[in-house]
């Protein structure tokens, strides 16, 4: 009979590596599994930016967080290892983040981190340790499927659901991963931390991108790519110059504040043109998007065959803070298109478009990819032509 992790072994014969960040969530995972009788090994990834930032996110941390993870491991009686992944993190996450912003995108470094450093490299370590599973503190659910593979689903706590950031998890990775907190609300996790006597029970959650603790993305990018950003023009949808800017990396599609131009109506960033260093602005109506082009699709649903996929019903999520909305998935040749039934505003290239089998709270993740420059529903032909790059 499977144990609580859906593994056909008794807990005391089941070895689990737990990615420990020093935060409440991963600490509770480690403690719960230990007290349930599993053989638990704690691993913390030490990630620094040459001393420029001290940060934490998921299973990556430094400074106080490493100390907290070590304290928890000692308190619950498990071995704990700290691995220096600085160079991997810089190459796989930070460098890509900088290049993406400079190309006019709004990237999600957490996706790259989960896809590479955490799940690819940390899972490799788990296998080297002959572990039966790698457990994390993510709020997402995985279930055993009828074909022997695991499926990924939204968390029970919709406010904490992290499935948007995990869409790029491969099937091979998903089969070894476990998410013990997926069915719990965050409030219960904190209660468990206190009940288990963990010293970090009241520790606040990390809010920012781990290597941008101040939220000042431009400063980090300029440090990674000195002199790469160049000034340019702020123009309206007709191409009229309204002002100037210091670099497109300071803007994102959908942005309203901080554009730096005066106008008789509210203006929003509609598109960023990295080639010309132009920031194109327009009214809110120009942000409406119904067709989303997606690259680097990671598909976790039933296998798709042939070059043409025509009209699979899905629910699409174009921002981590938005709910999935009804859509149709198409694949023509090598191009993936998501047709939204109702237009969305502020769909930004570089963000993820994550697909689910429904809009239900427990919906299954079917896959997703990175949003490319998209066609928009605009109030007049010039706006539509410029917004699509025509």
Per-position pLDDT tens, the chain of length 390: 899 999 999 999 999 999 999 999 999 999 999 999 999 999 999 875 434 443 333 344 457 889 999 999 999 999 999 998 888 899 999 999 999 999 999 999 999 999 888 888 899 999 999 999 999 999 999 999 989 899 999 999 999 999 999 999 999 999 999 999 999 999 999 999 999 999 999 998 876 677 776 678 888 898 899 988 899 999 999 999 999 999 999 999 999 999 999 888 999 999 999 999 999 999 999 999 999 999 999 999 998 877 778 889 999 999 999 999 999 999 988 899 999 999 999 899 999 999 999 999 999 999 999 999 865 544 443 443 333 333
Q: Please tell me whether residues 156 and 244 are part of one structural domain.
A: no
Which tokens sit at 106?
């709004």
Look up residue 364 and give its DSSP letter. Answer: B
pTM for the complete prediction? 0.89
Residue after which a domain boundary falls, among 195, 213, 247 = 195
* Domain at 150, CATH number: 3.40.50.620
Q: Please tell me whether residues 125 and 269 are part of one structural domain.
A: no
Domain membership flag for residue 219: no
Domain membership flag for residue 245: yes
**Catalytic positions, please?**
113, 210
Q: Contact at 8 Å (CB) between 298 and 170? A: yes
* Domain at 240, CATH number: 2.30.30.280
Q: How far is CA 180 from CA 40, 185, 202, in A?
A: 13, 12, 20
Cα-based torsion angle of the residue sequence 269, 274, 277, 280 in order, rounded to the nearest 10 degrees = -20
Look up residue 351 and give its DSSP letter. Answer: S
Domain membership flag for residue 3: no
Query: Where does residue 284 rank: exposed (0-12), middle (13-18), buried (19+ CB within 10 A)?
Result: middle
Q: How far is CA 379 from CA 286, 288, 376, 382, in A?
A: 7, 10, 10, 9
281: nearest Cα among 293, 292, 269, 290: 269
Boundaries of domain holding 348: 287-387
Domain count, the chain: 3
Domain membership flag for residue 359: yes
């Amino acid at each position: 009979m499977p144990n609580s992790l859906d593994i056909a072994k008794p807990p005391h014969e089941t070895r689990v590596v737990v990615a420990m960040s020093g935060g409440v969530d991963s600490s509770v995972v480690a403690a719960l599994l230990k007290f349930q009788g599993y053989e638990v090994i704690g691993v913390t990834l030490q990630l620094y930016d040459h001393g420029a930032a001290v940060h934490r996110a998921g299973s990556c941390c430094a400074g106080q967080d490493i100390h907290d993870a070590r304290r928890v491991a000692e308190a619950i009686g498990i071995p704990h290892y700290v691995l220096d992944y600085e160079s991997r993190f810089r190459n796989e996450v930070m460098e890509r983040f900088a290049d993406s912003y400079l190309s006019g995108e709004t990237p999600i470094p957490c996706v790259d981190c989960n896809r590479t450093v955490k799940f690819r490299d940390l899972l490799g370590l788990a296998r080297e340790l002959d572990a039966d599973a790698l457990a994390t503190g993510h709020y997402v659910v995985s279930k055993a499927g009828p074909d022997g593979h695991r499926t990924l689903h939204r968390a029970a706590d919709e406010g904490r659901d992290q499935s948007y950031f995990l869409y790029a998890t491969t099937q091979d990775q998903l089969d070894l991963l476990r998410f013990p907190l997926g069915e719990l609300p965050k409030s219960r996790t904190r209660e468990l931390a206190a009940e288990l006597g963990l010293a970090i029970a009241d520790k606040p959650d990390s809010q920012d991108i781990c290597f941008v603790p101040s939220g000042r993305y431009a400063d980090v990018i300029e440090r990674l790519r000195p002199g790469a950003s160049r000034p340019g023009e702020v123009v309206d949808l007709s191409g009229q110059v309204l002002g100037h800017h210091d670099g497109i990396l300071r803007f994102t599609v959908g942005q309203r504040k901080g554009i730096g131009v005066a106008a008789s109506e509210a203006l929003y960033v509609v598109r960023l043109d990295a080639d010309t260093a132009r920031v194109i602005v327009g009214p809110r109506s120009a942000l409406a998007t119904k067709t989303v082009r997606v690259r680097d699709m990671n598909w976790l649903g039933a296998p798709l065959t042939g070059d043409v996929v025509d009209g699979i019903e899905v629910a699409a999520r174009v921002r981590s803070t938005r709910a999935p909305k009804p859509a149709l998935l198409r694949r023509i040749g090598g191009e993936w298109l998501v047709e939204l039934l109702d237009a969305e505003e502020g769909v930004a290239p570089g963000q993820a478009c994550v697909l689910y089998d429904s809009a239900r709270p427990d919906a299954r993740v079917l896959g997703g990819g990175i949003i490319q420059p998209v066609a928009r529903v605009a109030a007049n032909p010039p706006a539509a032509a410029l917004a699509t790059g025509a």
